């Protein structure tokens, strides 16, 4: 496959913000044509001469392209800095790692907070509803642009796992290995319900102004914070919440008989909610949650999930976490069964963890070891160099 | 124990709204004195000559005193009409059934929406924070008023179960049998977190007006609806949501690529949210959720739950539901272990059900049979007449 756009210089450690504006409009799954489309992305490591060592990382609902190193906005470590970097599991000394802010996002890629050139105003609710497939087709253009025909690996957790499945399903010839982590082939009724609560919380905020808050100089902070709080509970396990907070009080000796945050868990949730609004756009939250709700790889294949994988050459590794109740192991197992039904190359590990869905973002040794094993083994088959001796972990 | 107030005529089937205004102020757990205190209640069946057949039903967070028959406001059946009535499990031909709207509620009992006589305005946030213990001490005054020294049975689910435990703990000599269903001895961190989301949703609504919406003629409908939606998800199991709705679309053939309720589960949730605001007061929601959060029978006993039950003469029957993730079986089991540790009289059944927490409100045959068996056996020990032959179930 010829690159649509000539390759640009390959970047090393993330020190600059990269942008690609597609030459052609994007025809979305809805049929709507979107133009112009810009993807904000980061790369880590270098593409090898064979262009065979590219790892595409797909981020989750509120993630972004700053996978490793220091996040330029928050000043914190990238969301997968535990995994991605020199000598790490996704070793940037060996792999050329790419991550793009998803279409519809709010970290530089085209999304509802960006300006619609046709009106000179932020897109707001005039932005078309996008899908996981649309995110992936935009990423495919970026991969073209980078001069990569075939990805060594596509990897991601949660919504990232949906993109991984979409990649492997739509572009099996361009994916050597696929690692969907803590994901599903379709969003469950319960998950749609939680997303709907979040959306309703945002839209209930008068500051949302029917989606026009940017034009009106307003911010639906409270609605977005409530949405984040509700979602955040689903990212943790009951056990994790109990261990972290239990019924411990926050900076006080006794109950205050009021509505302040008496309990640590309340204080923590409020903090999660109110720091989130500083880094995320409310309309993006609507669009991205909608994209997840719409994802259903079985439905797209006449209700038979295995049809999505017939004849796939992709090597799969699925990983779930035992205490994840948002994307429970059963969801991954359904994918594994479908892959087995078409004799695909698949390995599957349910990692024992009490940290809930969030475990895919955390330093979970069994998870990291599983991933290390799969990546090293698959790299060898792909003819990529092995890990340097003494490298972590 | 002498009735504080002379017994009033005993009422039969619920045809009139009953009110008791306490003669004396109530000293709350917080130390605050509340006056006047009115309880709105209903009775079903008749008190026997021995005054030994009284069953006190305790309602859950959004329940009320209209247990059986037709609800005067909604026109629907009472919330436990499946269980309470002539010939039913809680047989009003045999038992004198009492249920009071909880203190802090919004169906006639003293709560934040009632008028504070000191100001002539609704209490709003000037209403004192109340606890499960306060609800129970108000109920005890009602039971005094009805001329009942010793309840045959105190029964309730969810927050009702907390009241049952409080009754049996504070007034063991006044309770012959106690049936806490789908409950806990303390609210977990996860449950506090979900309540906090609901409270934040309400308080984020500008129509809430810092709690003064009644004075200002406003209603925080959107905030309360969001709170209800988030809570409603926790009342159902993932399996129940999947079975009821799955990913089925609402009155349409295909996705609309918009933010309307494409999915049935969204439509259902919105309906749950927006019908709730017609029957519930937002400030009551704040106060009652807070009362649940504060409940911790272990903490009140130096962290040793069994101390709450030392020497208890009460016969306990605990019931949980296998798919209840809001008040999981493990919570009931902890109570059973504490009761066993002090050699209390306790039976325990985990009912197999995929209906989640809501199962305690539904027609679940195993649940009803379990309850029937316990009530009949305990009634016999108490010297109460058995079921009429041919009576249901």
Confidence of residue A292 (pLDDT cuts 50, 70, 90): very high
Give the number of residues written for chain B: 393
Output the domain CATH number for residue B196: 1.10.1740.110
Residues B340 and B373 in one domain: yes
A201 contacts in B (CB within 8 Å)? 201, 204, 226
Residues A186 and A219 in one domain: no
Contacts of residue B191, Cβ cutoff 8 Å, sequence gap at least 6:
B184, B292, B293, B326, B327
Average pLDDT over residues A89-96: 97
Nearest in space to A131 (alpha carbons), one of A187, A205, A81: A187
Q: ipTM of this model?
A: 0.93
Count CB pairs under 8 A between chains A and B: 156
Domain boundary among the residues B267, B289, B311 is at: B289
- What confidence score (pLDDT) does residue A15 get? 53
Q: DSSP characters for B204-224?
A: HSGGGGGGTTTTTT---HHHH
Residue B10 in domain: no
Percent helix, strand, coil in chain A, to 5, is 40, 15, 45
Separation between Cα atoms, residue A218 and residue B150, nearest integer Å: 60
Name the 3-class secondary structure at A153: strand
pLDDT tens, position by position, B70-125: 998 888 999 999 999 999 999 999 999 999 999 999 999 999 999 999 999 999 99
- What confidence score (pLDDT) does residue B388 get? 82
Residues A276 and A378 in one domain: no
Which chain B residue lies closest to A203 (C-alpha atoms)? Answer: B222
- Give which of B197, B206, B221 to mutate to test A binding, by max A Cβ within 10 Å: B197
- Residue B313: pLDDT over 70: yes
- Long-range contacts formed by A70-75: CB under 8 A, 24+ apart: A72/A17, A73/A107, A73/A279, A74/A279
Residues B173 and B195 in one domain: no
Tell me the CA distances in angstroms from B249 to B37, B256, B260, B273, one per residue in order.
Answer: 48, 10, 11, 19
Domain boundary among the residues A222, A255, A290 is at: A290
- Residue B1: pLDDT over 50: no
Separation between Cα atoms, residue A218 and residue A207, nearest integer Å: 6
Q: Where are the alpha helices (DSSP H) in chain B?
A: 132-145, 159-170, 189-204, 221-235, 238-244, 264-276, 282-294, 329-341, 365-381
Residues B78 and B175 in one domain: yes
Nearest in space to A55 (alpha carbons), one of A17, A95, A91, A1: A95
Which chain B residue lies closest to A211 (C-alpha atoms)? Answer: B259
Number of domains in chain A: 2
Please answer whether residues A182 and A158 qualify as being in contact, where contact means their C-beta atoms are separated by less than 8 angstroms: yes
Q: B93: buried, middle or exposed (CB in 10 Å: 19+, 13-18, 0-12)?
A: middle
Residues A60 and A165 in one domain: yes
Residues A278 and A349 in one domain: no
Q: Do A242 and B205 touch (CB under 8 A)?
A: no
Please answer whether residues A343 and A310 qualify as being in contact, where contact means their C-beta atoms are separated by less than 8 angstroms: no
> Helices A282-294 and A132-145, interaxial angle, to 10°?
100
Residues A50 and A174 in one domain: yes
Name the 3-class secondary structure at A340: helix
Range of the domain at A267: 191-290
- Long-range contacts formed by A72-78: CB under 8 A, 24+ apart: A72/A17, A73/A107, A73/A279, A74/A279, A78/A14
Tell me the CA distances in angstroms from B242 to A10, A137, B247, one per residue in order.
Answer: 46, 30, 8
- What confidence score (pLDDT) does residue B10 get? 39
Tell me, yes or no, if A324 is annotated catalytic: yes
Please answer whether residues A67 and A59 qualify as being in contact, where contact means their C-beta atoms are separated by less than 8 angstroms: yes
Q: Do B258 and A129 touch (CB under 8 A)?
A: yes
pTM across the whole model: 0.94
Q: Do A229 and B200 touch (CB under 8 A)?
A: yes
Nearest to A263 among B245, B262, B293 (CB): B293
- Give which of A259, A265, A295 to mutate to test B binding, by max B Cβ within 10 Å: A259
pLDDT tens, position by position, B275-300: 999 999 999 999 999 999 999 999 99
Q: From the CA of B392, how many Å to the nearest CA of chain A? A: 36
Whose structure tokens read 């984020």? B204
Structure tokens of B175?
């309770």
Positive or negative, the Cα torsion across B63, B64, B67, B71? Answer: negative
Output the domain CATH number for residue A364: 3.40.50.1820
Residue B274 in domain: yes
Whose structure tokens read 């977190």? B193
Marked catalytic residue, from A145, A187, A195, A357 = A357
- Give which of B240, B259, B292, B323 to mutate to test A binding, by max A Cβ within 10 Å: B259
Domain boundary among the residues A236, A260, A290 is at: A290
């Amino acid at each position: 496959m010829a690159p649509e756009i000539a390759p640009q210089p390959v970047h090393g450690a993330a020190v600059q913000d990269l942008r690609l504006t597609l030459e052609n409009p994007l025809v979305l799954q809805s049929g709507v044509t979107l133009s112009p489309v810009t993807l904000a992305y980061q790369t880590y490591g270098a593409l090898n001469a064979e262009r065979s060592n590219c790892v595409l990382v797909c981020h989750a609902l509120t993630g972004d392209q700053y996978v490793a190193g220091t996040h330029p906005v928050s000043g914190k470590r990238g969301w997968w800095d535990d995994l991605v970097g020199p000598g790490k599991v996704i070793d940037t000394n060996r792999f050329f790692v790419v991550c793009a802010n998803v279409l519809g996002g709010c970290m530089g890629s085209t999304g509802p907070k960006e300006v619609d050139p046709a009106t000179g105003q932020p897109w707001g609710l005039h932005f078309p509803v996008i899908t996981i497939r649309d995110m992936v087709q935009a990423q495919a253009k970026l991969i073209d642009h980078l001069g990569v025909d075939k990805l060594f690996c596509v990897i991601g957790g949660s919504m990232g796992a949906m993109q991984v499945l979409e990649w492997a399903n739509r572009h099996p010839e361009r994916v050597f290995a696929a690692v969907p982590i803590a994901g599903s082939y379709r969003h469950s009724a319960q998950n749609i319900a939680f997303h709907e609560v979040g959306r309703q919380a945002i839209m209930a905020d008068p500051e949302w102004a029917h989606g026009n808050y940017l034009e009106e100089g307003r911010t639906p902070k409270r609605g977005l914070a409530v949405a984040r709080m509700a979602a955040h509970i689903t990212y943790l396990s009951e056990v994790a919440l109990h261990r972290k907070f239990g019924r411990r009080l926050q900076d006080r000796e006794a109950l205050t008989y009021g509505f302040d945050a008496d309990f640590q868990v309340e204080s923590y949730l409020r903090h999660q909610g109110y720091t989130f609004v500083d880094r995320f756009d409310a309309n993006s939250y609507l669009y991205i949650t909608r994209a997840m709700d719409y994802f259903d790889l079985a439905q797209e294949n006449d209700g038979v999930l295995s049809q999505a994988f017939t004849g796939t050459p992709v090597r799969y590794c699925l990983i779930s976490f035992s205490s994840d109740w948002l994307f429970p192991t059963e969801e991954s197992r359904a994918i594994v069964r479908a892959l087995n039904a078409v004799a695909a190359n698949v390995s599957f590990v349910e990692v024992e963890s009490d940290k809930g869905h969030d475990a895919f973002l955390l330093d979970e040794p069994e998870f990291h070891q599983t991933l290390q094993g799969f990546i090293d083994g698959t790299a060898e088959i792909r003819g990529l160099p092995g890990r340097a001796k003494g490298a972590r972990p």
